[in-house]
């Protein structure tokens, strides 16, 4: 225990590997954040942020947003494109957009627009409500607004209105019928649209989002359809409106080779269309820039085998090479990176509110008279120590337990006999586990012991609200204690949430360079909070959560760094989480009526004399107080 140090903690939790320079473990055993890529000396101690949150009386769980990380990511992508475009003597510009579906929070969109302003960074929308948001929040006339997704007449009308407001709004045609709707509308309104064409790519991406490309993709136009669109535009004397070629082969692209292949295909298509006389100015390579969630730098689904710089280089040099060969001008480059812009900037911090140990409940196992033979057998095994081979002890224990279960069902074993048997069974398993030499060859079955004996840490959050992708698609997200990282974590545990759903748990953990079913954490101390962070939740997880068990949105804490402030940070804003009342109202409950009904029942008991009047008032107030309060567990 004494020789544990933060290097071992780093080895175990891999904070530097997935932290992208923003997260590390400090000498004091606390998670440290370096939120501004331009100010590497400004570090925030996460424990200090947590302490300040507590001192302001804010309850966990909370989403903590580091706005400087968001700004840094926007600056990094723009500057990397800028640098490589200059290096390659590339003739076009970079005109990136942020796809708001990745995180539509107003504060996030505003911060991105603000940080992106010097680069004319724009927004992308994929639905009508998103379009309404981007119309209001992208008021930079030099920044692009890219409009993807399926469109109806209202969507198209709003987009044309945007053109009238002198915004660079590009309507990306996903299917031919959208064009047939757009042409008469544009003529009627007397507006020249900027049109994009989304190509259904032939390259097949891999990973969780592979179905975004290929012949059966839901989105985009085949080459034949693209040519029909061109023909149709020519007929209408609108070919000059075709400005952009778009593709998006999937999110979280883990293998750089797929990106190169897609860039090749897209650039070739662009060049051929330009040669056909289509006056395209932009090539939009979509999203897909991955995040190394598990820190392995591999092609695993939760990782990526390339850096942002390599990604950008492959795009810039790849497009340049093909355009030069085909002798067409270099297009302006658009990318729609969402995940990479937002994933790092937010995390969920919460507390562990309890521990469930499989071997934790002890029942008095002392022998009693007329004990059943099965209990006696288990007791003998229990006191046999290591006379037997571990495998043999394990097999016997498992056999006795099975027999006892059968006997119980037949009414042969009493409740207390079952309790004794069970207690001894778990003690034997724990004993075997301790006797196993970690490094020696272990028998397959015994490997499961670690899993069977792991504790469950009950964590004050909902997987369905805060980490939907860990449940839905097996995404790995880093989970790390906020402090005590200079102490050896001696409890193997898995993290379960407070929903009444057995799927409400994290089932994959980063342990070194492996993915495990459980993870070492520190033992809980009486009277002391144990805070853990679920990191890299800023993309999708933040906004995709659902209402399972009516937990609703978390309290949000917005943190900015500032080197004049103590601890180099200040909390700029706290947005309270959804109250029980609000959550119930979204399910059509009338909470006033509910409060009134409960009050009526209380009053009835007061009249009958089974509740004192003052007590009645207190309970009425308490019910109303809980309605206005948080949906999560309140920890005293
Ligand atoms: C979802 C989506 C994106 C964002 O992809 P990321 O992998 O998060 O960068 C970009 N473009 C389109 C068309 C999308 O549907």
Q: Is the pLDDT of residue 435 over 90?
A: no
State pLDDT tens for residues 295-317. Answer: 999 999 999 999 999 999 999 99
Whether the per-residue pLDDT at 208 is higher than 90: the answer is no
Q: What is the mean pLDDT of residues 611-631?
A: 97
If you average pLDDT over every residue of the chain, what do you get?
A: 94
Pocket test for ligand 1, best of 200, 220, 248, 538 (most atoms within 8 A of CB): 248
Q: What is the pLDDT of residue 436?
A: 80
CA distances in angstroms from 340 to 194, 293, 331, 556, listed in the order given: 27, 11, 23, 21
Between the CA of 118 and the centroid of ligand 1 the distance, in Å, is: 23
Averaged over 253-280, what is the pLDDT?
97
> Is the pLDDT assigned to residue 439 strictly greater than 60?
no
Please state at what angle helix 415-435 crosses helix 444-453, rounded to 10 degrees: 120
Say if ligand 1 is within 6 A of residue 148 CB.
yes
Note every long-range contact of 425-431, with CB atoms under 8 Å and residues 24 or more positions apart, other chains counting: 425/378, 425/397, 425/400, 425/401, 426/358, 426/359, 426/453, 427/359, 427/382, 428/378, 428/381, 428/382, 428/393, 428/397, 429/359, 429/394, 429/397, 429/453, 430/359
3-class SS at 254? coil
Residues 6+ apart with CB under 8 A from 240: 279
CATH of segment(s) 1-66+342-357+453-577: 2.40.37.10
Q: How many residues appear in the chain?
A: 636
Q: Please work out whether the CB of residue 99 comes within 6 Å of at least one atom of ligand 1.
A: yes
Cis before 10 (ω within 30): no
Find which of 66-75, 422-431, 438-447 is predicted with most confidence, using mean pLDDT.
Answer: 66-75
Minimum CA distance residue for ligand 1 atom 2: 287
Distance from the CA of 284 to the center of ligand 1, in angstroms?
Answer: 11
Determine if ligand 1 sits within 6 Å of the CB of residue 338. Answer: yes
385: pLDDT confidence band, cut at 50, 70 and 90? confident
Of the candidate ranges 29-43, 147-161, 384-398, the one whose mean pLDDT is the lowest: 384-398
Calpha distance 364→369 (Å, rounded): 14
Does ligand 1 come within 6 angstroms of the Cβ of 19?
no
Domain ranges, ordered by start, for the chain: 1-66+342-357+453-577, 67-335, 373-450, 582-628
Q: How confident is the model at residue 440 (pLDDT cuts 50, 70, 90)?
A: low
Average pLDDT over residues 452-477: 94
Which range (258-267, 351-360, 627-636) has the least confidence? 351-360
Is any ligand 1 atom within 6 A of the Cβ of residue 280? no
Residue to probe by mutation, ligand 1, list 287, 339, 540, 544, most atoms within 8 Å of CB: 287
Q: Which of 96, 98, 99, 542 best tests ligand 1's pocket when mutated (most atoms within 8 Å of CB)?
A: 99
For ligand 1, mutation pick of 125, 221, 245, 251 (most atoms within 8 Å of CB): 251
Closest CA to 510 of 523, 502, 524, 520: 520
Q: Which atom of ligand 1 is nearest to the CA of 340?
A: 9
pLDDT of residue 361: 73
pLDDT of residue 14: 97
Pocket lining: 292 vs ligand 1, CB cutoff 6 Å: no
Question: Is the CB of 553 inside a 6 Å radius of any atom of ligand 1?
Answer: no
Residue 525 contacts residue 491 (beta carbons within 8 Å): no
In this predicted structure, what is the pLDDT of residue 441? 59
Mutate to test the pocket of ligand 1, among 97, 126, 173 (most ligand atoms within 8 A of CB): 126
* CATH 2.40.10.10, domain 373-450, yes or no: no
Q: What is the mean pLDDT of residues 341-351?
A: 98
Distance, CA of 456 to CA of 494 (rounded, Å): 5
What tokens were used for 549? Answer: 């068990």
Give the per-residue pLDDT at 2. 61
Q: What is the pLDDT of residues 532-577, one digit of tens each?
A: 999 999 999 999 888 889 999 999 999 999 989 999 999 999 999 9
**Percent of the chain whose pLDDT exceeds 90:** 88
User: Which has the closest alpha carbon to 44: 572, 486, 565, 573?
Assistant: 565
Q: Helical H runs in 88-174? A: 106-116, 128-137, 153-164
The pLDDT score that the predictor gives to residue 443 is: 67
79-129: pLDDT as tens digits: 999 999 999 999 999 999 999 999 999 999 999 999 999 999 999 999 999
**Per-residue model confidence (pLDDT) at position 451:** 83
CA angle, residues 464, 468, 471, in degrees to nearest 5 = 90
Structure tokens at 530: 């144990």
What's the pLDDT tens digit per position in 169-182?
Answer: 999 999 999 999 99
- 79 C-alpha vs ligand 1 centroid, how far in Å? 20
Measure the CA–CA gap between 204 and 212, rounded to whole angstroms.
8
- Ligand 1 geometric centre to CA of 251 (Å): 6
pLDDT of residue 438 exceeding 70, the answer is no
Instruction: Report the topology of domain 67-335.
Output: TIM Barrel (3.20.20)
Which pLDDT value is given to residue 442? 64
């Amino acid at each position: 225990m004494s020789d544990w140090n933060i290097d071992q903690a780093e080895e175990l939790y891999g904070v530097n590997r997935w932290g992208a320079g923003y997260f590390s473990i400090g000498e004091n055993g606390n998670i440290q954040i370096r939120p501004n890529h331009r100010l590497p000396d400004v570090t925030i101690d996460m424990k200090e942020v947590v302490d300040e949150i507590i001192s302001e009386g804010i309850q966990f769980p909370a989403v903590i947003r580091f706005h400087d990380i968001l700004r840094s990511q926007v600056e990094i992508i723009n500057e990397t494109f800028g640098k490589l475009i200059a290096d390659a003597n590339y003739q076009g510009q970079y005109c990136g957009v942020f796809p708001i579906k990745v995180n539509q929070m107003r504060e996030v969109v505003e911060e991105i627009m603000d940080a992106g302003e010097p680069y004319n960074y724009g927004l992308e929308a994929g639905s009508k409500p998103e379009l309404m948001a981007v119309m209001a929040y992208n008021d930079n006339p030099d920044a692009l607004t890219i409009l993807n997704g399926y469109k109806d007449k209202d969507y198209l009308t709003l987009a044309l209105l945007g053109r009238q407001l002198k915004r660079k709004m590009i309507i990306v045609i996903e299917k031919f019928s959208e064009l047939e709707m757009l042409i008469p509308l544009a003529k009627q309104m007397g507006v020249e649209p900027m049109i994009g064409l989304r190509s259904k790519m032939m390259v097949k991406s891999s990973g969780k989002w592979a179905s975004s490309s290929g012949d059966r993709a839901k989105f985009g136009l085949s080459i034949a359809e693209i040519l029909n669109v061109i023909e149709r535009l020519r007929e209408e004397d609108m070919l000059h409106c075709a400005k952009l070629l778009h593709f998006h082969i999937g999110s979280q692209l883990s293998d750089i080779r797929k990106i190169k292949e897609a860039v090749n295909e897209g650039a070739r298509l662009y060049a051929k269309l330009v040669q056909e006389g289509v006056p395209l100015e932009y090539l939009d390579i979509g999203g897909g820039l991955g995040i190394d969630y598990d820190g392995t730098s591999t092609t695993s689904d939760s990782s990526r085998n390339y850096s942002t710089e390599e990604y950008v280089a492959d795009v810039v040099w790849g497009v340049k090479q093909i355009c030069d060969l085909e002798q067409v001008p270099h297009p302006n480059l658009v990318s729609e990176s969402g995940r990479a812009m937002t994933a790092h900037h937010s995390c969920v911090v919460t507390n562990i509110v309890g521990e469930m140990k499989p071997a934790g409940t002890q029942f008095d196992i002392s022998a009693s008279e007329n004990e059943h033979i099965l209990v006696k057998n288990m007791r003998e095994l229990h006191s046999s120590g290591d006379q037997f081979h571990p495998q043999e002890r394990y097999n016997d224990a498992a056999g006795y337990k099975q027999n006892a279960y059968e006997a119980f069902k037949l009414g042969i074993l009493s409740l207390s006999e079952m309790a004794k048997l069970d207690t001894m069974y778990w003690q034997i398993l724990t004993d075997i586990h301790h006797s196993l030499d970690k490094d020696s060859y272990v028998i397959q079955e015994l490997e499961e012991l670690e899993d069977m004996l792991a504790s469950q840490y009950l964590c004050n959050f909902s997987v369905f609200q805060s980490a939907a992708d860990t449940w839905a698609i097996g995404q790995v997200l880093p989970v790390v204690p906020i402090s005590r990282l200079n102490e050896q974590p001696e409890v193997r545990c898995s993290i379960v949430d407070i929903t009444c759903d057995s799927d409400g748990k994290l089932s994959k953990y980063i342990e070194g360079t492996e993915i495990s079913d459980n993870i070492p954490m520190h033992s809980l101390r009486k009277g002391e909070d144990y805070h853990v962070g679920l990191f890299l939740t800023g993309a999708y997880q933040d906004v995709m959560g659902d209402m399972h068990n009516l937990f609703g949105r978390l309290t949000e804490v917005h943190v900015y760094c500032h080197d004049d402030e103590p601890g180099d940070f200040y909390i700029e804003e706290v947005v309270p989480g959804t109250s029980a009342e609000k959550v119930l109202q979204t399910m059509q409950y009338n909470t006033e009526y509910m409060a009134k009904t409960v009050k009526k029942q209380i009053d009835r008991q007061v009249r009958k004399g089974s509740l004192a009047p003052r007590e009645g008032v207190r309970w009425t107030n308490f019910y109303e107080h809980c309605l206005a309060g948080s949906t999560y567990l309140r920890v005293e």
